[in-house]
Amino acid sequence: MASSASRAAATAAGRLSHSTTVVMGAKSGHHIFRVKGYSQAKELPNGQYMNLGAFDVGGHSWSVHYYPNGIDCAEAVGCVSLFVCRDGKLGGSGMPARYSFSLLGQDGEPVASGTGIRPTRGFNMERYGYRCFMTRDEFERSGCLKVDSFAIRCDVFVAAREHQDAAGVLDDPTTTTPVVVPPKSDLQKDLAELLWSKQGADVTIEVGGETFHAHKWLLAARSSPEFREKFFGPTTQKKTSAATHIHIQIDDMEPEVFKSLLHFMYTDTLPKIDDEEALSRMASCLLAAADRYKLEKLMAMCEEILCERVDMSTVEASLALCEQHNCPALNAACMEFLAAPENLKAIVAENGLLQRPNKSCHTVLMEIFMKKLVERETAEAHSKVIGS
């Protein structure tokens, strides 16, 4: 009988997926692995890995092995391990190559604390990589997990020449070039600590009876002209000439929503929310706040979360959001969901959608009707052409 660990591994392996982007040079290339299902993958026991796929550089095939709970050794316990393998073969002649791994942030750019570069070496072993690329805690706090998924980039550079001297040392000119590994630093983490430590805060914001401390320069830089006017407008400058601390009151917003809004403005990420229902509710509220303060990226992130969760219980509220805040992607997701006859019948029967004076719902239903009518007329015309 399979052990519970084996079953967990099988489940994780079954749910893990990736998509790829390959950019090639003469003898260099990189591959981006987008890995979904992190919460399932981390159930794999220590020492077990997932092969994320292969890509070609310099006439060789390179694959990446991802160990969610570390390779099978003491120093890797509690770590994420990453290894790159050449052709899946052991031994053979050494081929000079350099590799690096980068954990990508939500903006698609490498995170400094999650980037490692190794110098050129002869690839004559099964694999090379990092027993402890990052600790699990560092990885989960990095802000790179988005809807239970993340992206890893692997770069491989294959040297142009491959010669050996009498001692068998690889003659590779790139080995003399020093490789500088950036020190571990994370702007997102530093700004988050600045926010919650309140150090240097010069503005207090009262929301629903709770008070938040922030920095006006950051809020003004990250937000809409509305906020900038509050901090740096001519009226504000006169009032604050003697005392630079500003107090602002915001109505029509819940404290938890504003807390998440602040988190995004400082870190460019969303706070981690494990509960699916709470995540959907927060995304709906944040989308409205993002529209109010012209935070386009936050609005897009919330819209993506809601698109992935359109179902019987959310479609009507999502349509209302589309009408209020102009969300084309979310509207398309709702249209696709309601275009399925069984979904449309169920939502009408359960929620009385046709009887409610909801402009957005009626508009969508009319669009679906017209789409189906056009499809039917096209099919009939096609059948007549075939029959003639």
Distance CA 27, CA 23 (A): 11
Phi, psi of 308 (to 5 degrees): -75, -5
Half-sphere exposure of 51 (CA within 13 A, CB side): 10
- Alpha helix segments (H runs only) across the chain: 4-15, 38-41, 136-141, 187-197, 216-222, 225-232, 234-239, 255-267, 276-292, 296-307, 315-325, 328-339, 341-351, 359-387
Contact 117, 4 (CB under 8 A): no
Its CATH class, for the domain covering 4-184, is: mainly beta
Q: Tens digit of pLDDT for each residue in 80-124?
A: 999 888 865 534 455 677 788 888 887 788 876 556 555 555 565
In 5-126, beta strands by DSSP E: 20-24, 28-36, 50-57, 60-67, 79-86, 96-104, 110-122
Q: What is the pTM of this model?
A: 0.49
Distance CA 202, CA 226 (A): 18
Distance CA 66, CA 43 (A): 13
Q: Where exactly are the structural domains of the chain?
A: 4-184
Contact 315, 337 (CB under 8 A): yes
Distance CA 368, CA 192 (A): 45
Q: Per-residue pLDDT for the chain (388 aa), expressed as one digit of tens each?
A: 334 444 334 334 433 433 434 444 447 788 898 888 888 888 888 889 999 988 888 778 888 999 999 988 777 888 999 988 886 553 445 567 778 888 888 778 887 655 655 555 556 556 778 888 888 888 888 888 888 889 999 888 876 544 444 333 334 433 334 444 455 557 777 888 888 888 888 889 999 999 999 988 888 888 777 667 766 665 554 454 445 778 888 888 999 999 999 999 998 888 888 888 899 999 999 999 999 888 889 999 999 899 988 988 888 889 889 889 988 888 888 888 888 888 877 877 766 554 554 555 556 666 666 666 666 667 666 666 565 5
What the block records as the tokens of 79 is 């770590």
Distance CA 191, CA 61 (A): 40
Pairing of strands 79-86, 203-207: unpaired
Phi, psi of 197 (to 5 degrees): -80, -20
- Three-state DSSP at 140 gives helix
